[in-house]
Amino acid sequence: MKMKSTVLIISALAGGTMLLAGCGNLQSNPALMQKSVVQRSVASQGLVKIQDAINSMSSIQNYSIKAQIQEATGRSVRSVNFYGAVMLPSSTTPVQIQMDETIGGNNYSVYQNGSFAYYEDAGRWKPMTPVSDLRPWQSLSDAIAKNPPKVVYQLPDQTVVSWLCNVYQFKTVDLGSYLGHTALVKPQESLYTVWVDTTDGLLRQIEVQSTVGVPGKGTNSMSSTDLMFNYNAPNLNIGVPSSLVAQIEKP
Looking only at the bridges linking them, the beta strands covering 163-174 and 203-214 are unpaired
At 3-47, the pLDDT tens digits run: 444 444 454 444 444 433 333 333 444 444 444 456 889 999 999
pTM of the model: 0.82
Kindly list the domain boundaries of the chain, sorted by start residue.
3-231
- pLDDT value at residue 116: 94
CB of 104 closer than 8 Å to CB of 113: no
At 169-189, the pLDDT tens digits run: 999 886 554 333 333 445 578
CB-based burial of residue 95 (10 Å sphere; 0-12 exposed, 13-18 middle, 19+ buried)? buried
- pLDDT value at residue 224: 85
**Distance between CA 237 and CA 162 in Å, rounded?**
23
Angle at 183 between CA 108 and CA 99, to 5 degrees: 20
Alpha helices in the chain (DSSP H): 3-12, 46-56, 138-146, 242-249
CB of 129 closer than 8 Å to CB of 114: no
- pLDDT value at residue 179: 32
The CATH number of domain 3-231 is 1.20.1290.10 = no
CB of 77 closer than 8 Å to CB of 219: no
Q: Which residues of the chain have pLDDT under 50?
A: 1-9, 11-36, 177-185
- pLDDT value at residue 141: 87
| 132: amino acid identity, one letter | S
- pLDDT value at residue 148: 92
Alpha carbon separation from 53 to 15, 21, 29, 65, 177 (Å, rounded): 15, 28, 27, 17, 20
Dump strand ranges (E) for 145-234: 153-160, 163-174, 188-197, 203-214, 218-229
Distance from chain centroid for Cα 205: 10
**Distance between CA 71 and CA 194 in Å, rounded?**
20
- pLDDT value at residue 213: 64
CB of 7 closer than 8 Å to CB of 99: no
**Distance between CA 98 and CA 239 in Å, rounded?**
8
Looking only at the bridges linking them, the beta strands covering 106-113 and 41-42 are unpaired
Asked whether the CA dihedral 182, 185, 188, 193 is positive or negative, the reply is negative
3-state SS, residue 40: coil
